[in-house]
Every structure is written in C-alpha cells, then in structure tokens.
C-alpha cells in the first residue's frame, strides 16, 4: 500500500500539446465545443461523448456518474436516463447540474453548468425508437438505482419482457426519457506546461456570452 501511495505522489505529466487563447476561441461556446468534439472524434478518443454528470440532492449531497451525450445544439446538451433513478430524483429536487468531458489524449476538459429540463415526449420517443431492441428491453427491465435481490431477478424480468414484446416495436416506458441541459456557463481547459493551463470561461448573459480567462 505504501508503494502505491508513493507511486501516486510521483505521478507527473507535463501538458504541452496545444494552446487555447481568447482570440482563437469562438464567440459561441457551443460552436467551440463542436470544434473540440470533432477533434476528439478525429483523434479517435475512446468514447468522446462520455461525460460525468454531477447532481445534488435536496439535502445538498453531491453524486456523480458517467453518462453518454446523445445530442447537442444551441438548445442544449441531451442525455437519456430513468426518471425514477437516483439521478432522476435528485434532478427533480434540484435541476442545477454540472457536466464534465475529459479527453486526455488531447489534454482537454470541458465543464458545463446549467439547469436541466425534460425533453419532450415526442423527442424521447424518436430516440428510443432508434435504439436496439435489447436496449429498449433493458430500459423496461431495470428499476434503476433500486436494491434487488440478485442478478437472477434482472435476467428473469428481461426474459419476461422479451416474451411480452417479441418484435422490434417496443414502446418507450413513461419512466424513461431525455433531459436537456441549457448551459449557463461553459469552461474550456487546455493543458499547458508547468501546470499553467489555459482556462477560458463563457458565461451566458442572455443575448451574448461573456468570455474571460481564469487562472489555472
């Protein structure tokens, strides 16, 4: 254990691949995100749409988990989940959340903060219907975040639902759907040498975005 702690303390990486300057950053952070996301895709980053979602309970206790971004536009950033899960309950109590994308291959992070709203039923249906049948059945099978007795419970429920919905036409359960995060701030982080990283913060001021540099 001591060897492991010593190893952790000696881990060092000096970031030096790219830079980020205010004059090079697009005035619209969603456009800037799109540029960086495309570069992550082109660089073959493993699951570039993986992101950490942090929520806060009604008691003020934070929790985080990795999800997958499924769409983004000027309207916001979209993901899908079980509305009755722990995250769903926390979002109902407090819709203020944070997203974090980390692309280590490019030495980049993007932090997004804002409020979540539920996606329309029609849009959730559209995405749900594009999913593989197995994923559709999975959404029905799992009472996400609830305690279950064993793996067997899941397997038996999946089999029952597979028999109930034998074809591809599996309806979307009411407890499952999309959320849209409408960003209030977005921060772009580019690793630089000597821990003097570039941090560019966009803050939504209604009709425009304020752009500022933060100390690393």
Q: Which of 70, 108, 133, 195 is catalytic?
A: 195
Q: Which residues contact 176 (CB under 8 A, 6 or more apart)?
A: 80, 81, 82, 83, 124, 128, 139
- For residue 182, indicate whether it is catalytic: no
Q: Which residues contact 40 (CB under 8 A, 6 or more apart)?
A: 48, 103, 105, 106, 108
Question: Which helix (DSSP H) or strand (DSSP E) does residue 117 occupy?
Answer: strand 108-118
Q: Which residue has the tokens 């982080």?
A: 189
Q: How far is CA 24 from the centre of its chain?
A: 25
3-state secondary structure 176-199: EEEEEEEEEEEEEEECCHHHCCEE
Alpha-carbon radius of gyration of the chain: 20
d(CA 55, CA 86): 10
d(CA 108, CA 147): 37
d(CA 164, CA 12): 54
Active site residues: 195
């Amino acid at each position: 254990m001591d060897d492991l702690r010593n190893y952790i303390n000696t881990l060092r990486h000096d970031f030096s691949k790219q830079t980020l300057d205010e004059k090079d950053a697009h005035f619209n952070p969603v456009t800037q995100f799109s540029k960086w996301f495309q570069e992550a895709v082109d660089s073959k980053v493993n699951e570039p749409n993986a992101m950490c979602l942090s929520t806060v309970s009604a008691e003020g206790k934070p929790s985080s988990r990795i999800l997958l971004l499924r769409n983004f536009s000027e309207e916001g950033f979209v993901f899908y989940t079980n509305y009755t899960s722990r995250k769903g309950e926390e979002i109902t109590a407090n819709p203020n959340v944070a997203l974090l994308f980390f692309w280590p291959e490019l030495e980049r992070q993007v932090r997004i903060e804002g409020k979540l709203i539920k996606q329309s039923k029609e849009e959730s249906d559209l995405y749900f219907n594009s999913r593989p049948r197995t994923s559709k059945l999975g959404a029905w099978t799992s009472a996400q975040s609830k305690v279950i007795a064993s793996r067997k419970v899941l397997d038996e429920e999946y089999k029952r639902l597979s028999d109930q919905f034998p074809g591809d036409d599996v309806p979307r359960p009411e407890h499952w759907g999309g959320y849209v995060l409408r960003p209030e701030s977005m921060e772009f982080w580019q690793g630089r040498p000597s821990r003097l990283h570039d941090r560019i913060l966009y803050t939504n001021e209604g009709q425009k975005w304020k752009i500022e540099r933060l100390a690393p």
